[in-house]
Structure 1
């Protein structure tokens, strides 16, 4: 889509032109939304459903044309920063959605703060938005935090009399931050961590790390990884005859992961977005109706069983912007610093907004706005997610 050209009014219509200039809401400039997504590389299974969901976004909001500019960060932090700079400095976007993964989003923080551009991350770490300081005041997110999900894992493990725990995670910001939350929750519940291992997203094998874990004989293992690379640890654990519980990070909520992991993931658990099991939830569960609506729209376009949590997180980011853009338009025109600031303020003032994860109530200190209803525990069985009601 080409950039909109400013219309020059005829001299006989100077009064109309003056009214146009004095009323930002009537401006013809498009709202521009940039998306930094992991469309290639190890995290592609997260970014592709996000891109496909963005293709379903409205092209007009509150009477204003909206342009979406999608860039691939290739699952790489340096590329994510370059993409962000391009969107801000060259494309002059009003807001950004992305990145798909924690390391990339954290790398984008300085650029976003310097450019004062409101951004909605699709990644998990609480460090993306906490604390809401001068840098993070421009950053929001839609996925549940790692703290919320680590807590769900440990609560589930406690109910199954787990006393010892091992951790294997990616050797990046996601793996480190998720481990910190798992360790904190485990300590609070008297669970001892007996092994702590790392692997790279591009590693072909985790045999060495798994041998150390099996030797420690934990009651349960937590895998802190996202996308298809997260299939390596459960596969290696099953090959070594491990019989304990296996938990995943919520970064595996897509069917590409189920396909790659196959039977090795049968009987494993993960805390997940309600969208994965929306049809199995009680009728009055928060977010169920909107989750089913999103699933219906997505699968009508991309095929049955194609939905993933990462597409849903993107849909929720779109809902946030659809609520905030009309508010910002009342005070400033798109393409201006004033509009970006007004959009940031409108996002932070979001209250009672329903999305696929529940109800969003943001504040000056909470740029996620979700409660515990936004997480559910599911079991993987024969390539399906099965809802596990709380005991």
Structure 2
């Protein structure tokens, strides 16, 4: 009898060990402090809402803060890879993400980047095949804005964007789309995210007399160029990218951002979006769960991390049929599974990943939105 009990204990120990081995480890790197904390805080907060299981497997999340510093992002990625993670969500900023792509690729760890610029996945390279982007590509957003410009008679356009991959990618995409629509970019200015005065740039833009101006900047850095243009009495239409899609844009900009037009996630205008939209119930659940936990609604940036969790939840069971978590074979299978996610409704839109498109959004991932009476409103 004693021998049977020992065998039972040993078998139980083996089962526990196997269960521990089967656990999926996911790293998360966010900028929850530093200059882009308005982006990183809702992303870090969203970790608590990520799926804890996928199929029969438990998921453990290891969350780190890079303090908005690209060098710290590199250190965080190396630490997580050393800890044996199967995937990494993050980092928050485009410059940070660009600096860790090679690290993720060399370790063959899938990276889900919740950043704005398509530069993290385009043009495709051997390293970038390990990167998946959980926000709308620039061209999806820009095409909606350029279409509105054409419909409203805009012939000349000014541009001001951050002097980094986010701003550069936007200028490249915008230039091509604007040219195709017969719109001439008559002035293009740059600025650093930490700049405290943009008077010189705004004066140059206004001097070019554009019919409209587009601001390409993420998070709180989207506010200062806008308010400065208003202070300098620019009278044309001001457009923003989805980088401005956060509550703080409205709070910091106040009346000066009234009438802004941007294309962004349905999350900003949930009550006005049709119930038939496949993403609406997913977005509603995320918003409600986040609000219940933190007492305020999340910025769309947090939803980009939440969507990364949904993508992993869909892909992990597929990869688990090929290999055990914690192995190189599992990570390769996970990358392949992510690349084949089809018709997955998430908070930002519907994902259809392919080898050619590691963002996977179509027009269901954007709405044309304006600021009216201090709130986001569907542009009709």
TM-score class, shorter-chain normalisation, is over 0.9
2:76 aligned with 1:83 = yes
Closer/same/farther in 2, CA of residues 119 and 25 from structure 1, 3 Å limit: farther
- Summarize deviations over 1:200-219 as a string: whole Å, max 9, x none: 01100100000001111110
- 1:101-180 alignment to 2 at 5 Å? 101-180=93-172
Q: How does 1:354-373 map to 2 (within 5 A)?
A: 354-373=345-364
Q: CA offset at residue 150 of structure 1?
A: 1.4
Work out whether 1:327 is the aligned partner of 2:318: yes
Kindly report structure 1 stretches of 4+ aligned residues shifted beyond 3 Å. 10-21, 24-29
Equivalent residue number for residue 313 of structure 1: 304
Cα RMSD of the aligned pairs, angstroms, is 2.1
For 1:182-261, list aligned pairs within 5 A. 182-261=174-253
TM-score relative to the length of structure 1:
0.91
Give the Cα separation in 1 of the matches to 2:202 and 2:300.
28
TM-score by length of 2: 0.94
Q: Which residue of 2 aligns with 1:5?
A: none
Gaps of 5+ in 1: 1-9
Aligned partner (choices 60, 71, 76) of residue 67 of structure 1: 60
> 1:150-177 CA deviation, whole Å, 9 max, x = no partner?
1111111111100000000111111111
Q: Any conservation in 1 of the 2:265–2:349 contact (CA below 8 Å)?
A: no
Describe the superposition over 1:85-124 as per-residue Cα deviations: whole angstroms up to 9, x where unpaired. 11112x2111000111211111111101101000110012
1:40 aligns with 2:33: yes
Give the Cα separation in 1 of the matches to 2:183 and 2:61: 46
Alpha-carbon distance, 1:58 to partner: 3.0
Gapped regions of structure 2 (runs ≥ 5): none
Q: Distance in 2 between matches of 1:11 and 1:172?
A: 63
Q: What is the CA distance between 1:349 and its match in structure 2?
A: 1.3
Q: CA deviation at 1:20?
A: 6.4
Write the deviation string for residues 350-369 of structure 1: whole angstroms up to 9, x where unpaired.
11211112321111111111
Aligned twin of 1:4: none
SS for the counterpart of 1:71 is strand
SS of the residue aligned with 1:50?
helix
State whether structure 2 residue 268 is matched by structure 1 residue 302.
no
Whether the 8 Å CA contact 2:54–2:314 is kept in 1: the answer is no
Give, in whole Å, the separation in 2 of the partners of 1:255 and 1:228.
10
Instruction: Identify the range of structure 1 (286-295 vs 109-118) with the bigger mean alpha-carbon deviation.
Output: 286-295
Give yes or no for the alignment of 1:383 onto 2:379. no
- Deviation of 1:320 after TM superposition, in Å, equals 0.4
Offset of residue 381 of structure 1? 2.2
